[in-house]
Amino acid sequence: MSHIYDVVIVGGGPAGLYAGWTLARAGFSVAICEEHPTSGMPVHCTGVLAAEAFERFGLSDDSVLNQLRTVRFHPPSGDAVDYSPITVEAVVIDRARFDRRLSERAALAGAELSYGERVTGVAVDADGVTVASGSTMRRARVCVLACGARYGVQRKLRLGIPRLLLHSAQAELPAARLGDVEIHFGEQIAPRGFAWAVPVQRERPYVRVGVMCERHAHRHFERVLRDIGPRWGVDAAGGCKPRQKILPLGPIDRTFGDRVVVVGDAAGVVKPTTGGGIYYSLMTASLASEIVAGALSRDDLSAAALNEYERLWRRELGPELRWQLVLRRIAQRLTDDDIDGLFALARTDGLMPLVRRTAAFNHHREFIVALLKHPPARRVLFRAALA
């Protein structure tokens, strides 16, 4: 353990790889520890990303499989409402290829990637950080936690854990035909959450089916698959074992400490409304890299210096996250009748023009505020909030 890295990054997903690339490109020695055998596998998410992300973060778009143009929302009553934004706001990506491209970029910049290494401990002292993975110990000046929705290290470092969590289950399946994105609501489908079907155009049609709910995600996934399978030409009879994971829907108490910063899902910085995390992972990784690079150059890696990272992401994302959390907490109290009532408003009471005027894939605050100011919708939401 004689070699001391400038940075050890725990986790080789989008957040860790992007931070690794940025810091290695700036001339720092970087080691990235990833528990799985390769980048991008297994796939843990639906792989829907804002179309703007590629330009904003300077990424190759060769992982894009298809664009998403229309979303069909299904209330418990089943009478669907369609929404098509004026411009394409979201795309489906090949998540494995997306991560591989990030890993290639990080390696070319000089980052050292180690696979099959699950980090079991991070110990901070006055002179540096020791990162343990099995019998391997790495020493660094600073550690970036990008370990996804695992919170053991954060708890030990007294950084806290997300206060709101839901469960998810999802899988990609061969389909006979492609359809529009489907979002399903209801207590029987996805209690306190929603289910989805996303079209995927590879060499043949596929569909990504998933559910985000309070409990029993696997059971609800099976029901969703039975319900939507015939429409997409999916053979659900053979059974399917979905990938399951915890979704953090709110940030941890602190995303920094002495010689430590936390990014992406590991920080609980995801969209509370949908659980989407890739864009926010890239954003927090970018901000963290900027602050860590400056702190390394000044040789000041104290919590006081790294606090600037949290200040930056809260300034950029804080208002958005707060309003999304408001809607998430209200949504978890909505009954099926409440949801059907909101859909009735969308069909008859001018709610769809409000959606078209204010809704955006990555930014929900304006829509949420407008929704809470819409008198009929406000009555439904406030009644649920006070229930």
Are 233 and 178 in contact by the 8 Å Cβ rule? The answer is no
pTM greater than 0.85 (yes/no): yes
Kindly state the helix (H) or strand (E) to which residue 220 belongs, with its residue range. helix 217-232
Q: For residue 122, give Cα distances in angstroms to 7, 33, 259, 341.
A: 13, 12, 11, 50
As to burial, measured by CB atoms within 10 angstroms (0-12 exposed, 13-18 middle, 19+ buried), residue 86 is exposed
Q: What are phi and psi of 39, to 5 degrees?
A: -75, 140
Summary count for the chain: helices (H), strands (E): 11, 18
pLDDT tens for the 387 residues of the chain, in order: 558 999 999 999 999 999 999 999 999 999 999 999 888 787 778 899 999 999 999 998 999 999 999 999 999 998 899 999 989 999 999 999 999 999 999 999 999 999 998 999 999 999 999 999 988 899 999 999 999 988 999 999 999 999 889 999 999 999 999 999 999 999 999 999 999 999 999 989 999 999 999 999 999 999 999 999 899 999 876 678 899 999 999 999 999 999 999 999 999 999 999 998 999 999 999 999 999 999 999 999 999 999 999 999 999 999 999 999 999 999 999 999 999 999 999 888 778 888 889 988 888 999 999 999 999 999 999 998 887
Quote the Cα angle for 386-315-159, to 5°.
75
What is the rounded CA–CA span in Å between residue 103 and residue 333? 41
Quote the Cα angle for 20-11-365, to 5°.
85
Q: Which CATH number fits domain 4-67+93-163+249-317: 3.30.470.20, 3.30.230.10, 3.50.50.60, 3.30.70.580?
A: 3.50.50.60
- Give Cα 133 to chain centroid, integer Å: 25
Q: How do the domains of the chain map onto residue ranges?
A: 4-67+93-163+249-317, 165-247, 325-386
- DSSP alpha helix (H) spans, 1-64: 14-25, 53-56
